[in-house]
Amino acid sequence: MRPSRPEVEIVEAPAQDETGSPGRKRKVFVRTYGCQMNVYDSDRMTDVLAPEGFQATEDLEDADLVILNTCHIREKAAEKVYSELGRIRKVKEERARQGKDMMVGVAGCVAQAEGEEIARRAPIVDLVIGPQSYHRLPGLLAKAGAGEKVVETEFDIDAKFEHLSEQAAAPVKKRPPAAFLTVQEGCDKFCTFCVVPYTRGAEVSRSVEQIVTEAERMAASGVREITLLGQNVNAWHGEGADGKAWGLGRLLRRLAEIDGLDRLRYTTSHPRDMDDDLIAAHRDLTSLMPYLHLPVQSGSDRILKAMNRRHTREDYFRLIDRIREAAPDIALSGDFIVGFPGETDRDFEDTMDLIRRVEYGSAFSFKYSSRPGTPGAAMDDQVPEDIKSARLAALQDLVSAQQKAFNASRLGMTCDVLLERKGRNPGQLAGKSPWLQAVQLDAPENLIGSIQAVEIIEIGANSLFGRLIERQDESGSTRPGAIKEAAFDA
């Protein structure tokens, strides 16, 4: 029997003026770059600013505070930030002519890597905060408001996690039906192409109690699907209520017991941390969605070694076989880097061969970009840009064909869809399939937040189109095990 979710009151924060008194709320505009963890962090920034009298806005020109939450994974990430700051400078100057103030902050991984340089090159920036410091935003804003240039990039991830727990104990506000929940941050793998260990720090896991408490309150606020986040999320570990060491599989089993929480996902995983219990969770839990993002980066053993991935292509194939034996209906996703230093035509063909053998439902692919301070940046035999571009185009053609084939295999299938928001057209709702595909269908607005059985009747370029199955439970409940049954019926 599932434990009942906590009795909580859903409230709206009162409006406040600049002094914290009831009145006009200040506006905060947050632009988010990069991964889902940045999306989660941006949401928490607006949460921590709400008691200070800020409400979120999508209109940059109307904002009293603008925050760029940045990503440092791709090439020229810092230059893109400076370019955006140039545009924001014009808005800030126009507001000043109107007698309105605007504060500007840069957060996230570019802030962590380029802190003092941002403060020097962009005078309009009032504060620079690394990804482990946003819980200190109110105090840092006060310093900046007093005229101090703030650059805060010290690592204190335990303090950040503690603050997340304090936020989880705050009054609950209504939330969208799908949400992210960070359970692990940082990375100890030190792949030679990656800056994450330097911008996010070492691997640190939140406690079971912290995660379960936040998940329970998410469910109480209307969340029906949670995606657990971590740079290496399947490296998560913690001590459970039974005093034993838990891994991600055991944590997922505990979260599956939460009343109202009907769907679980997690990302991003490393092949070396995919253990037996986690694979078994995909077999055992109907609430654990049949989708797995498991990056391999290359299909060449020589390049995998140069990347310091510490697994081989055969290790990856064996792992995929075990996962598919446990969950035959699972959709696999991956990450691929082409043009890593020293990559030959043979190495690239090994990657293409791996993709053909695995057959992905979706994938993300990139040209190798040299990140300052990483071992890859100092390697000899950098691949020319035109060769990288040609290889990327060929790889993307292959994975696009696989994705289209996977989507086409859903045609005529009935599956459960979480309806999340209004669609593009009147009378249309948009949601997600169990395999993380976008689904559009005609349905009444009161079904937003429910999970409905939907027949897939058309395959679009980027979405599936469905028909709502009639005579369902008005609450949005569907039969137990519908996802598994529908998948096997295909």
Cα 72 from chain centroid (whole Å): 15
* Residue-wise burial string across 310-331, b where 16 or more C-beta atoms lie within 10 A, e elsewhere: ebebebbeebbeebbebbebbb
| DSSP label at residue 373 | T
Q: Residue 420 phi/psi, 5° resolution?
A: -110, -30
Identity at 30, one-letter amino acid code: V
Sheet strand arrangement including 65-70: 54-56, 26-32, 65-70, 103-107, 127-129, 150-152
Contact assessment for residue 246 and residue 238, using Cβ atoms and an 8 Å cutoff? yes
Gap between the Cα atoms of 89 and 484, Å rounded? 52
Gap between the Cα atoms of 91 and 106, Å rounded? 16
Gap between the Cα atoms of 420 and 447, Å rounded? 9
Please report which helix (H) or strand (E) contains residue 454, including its range.
Answer: strand 451-459
Gap between the Cα atoms of 334 and 342, Å rounded? 22
Pairing of strands 451-459, 464-468: antiparallel
Contact assessment for residue 371 and residue 72, using Cβ atoms and an 8 Å cutoff? yes
Identity at 318, one-letter amino acid code: R
Please report which helix (H) or strand (E) contains residue 197, including its range.
Answer: helix 196-199
The neighbour count for residue 96, using CB atoms within 10 Å, is 11
Residue 169, token pair as written in the block: 């104990």
Contact assessment for residue 381 and residue 342, using Cβ atoms and an 8 Å cutoff? yes
415 marked ligand binding residue: no
Bridge partner residues of 266 (DSSP): 228
Contact assessment for residue 127 and residue 102, using Cβ atoms and an 8 Å cutoff? no
List binding-site positions for [4Fe-4S] cluster: 35, 71, 109, 187, 191, 194
List binding-site positions: 35, 71, 109, 187, 191, 194
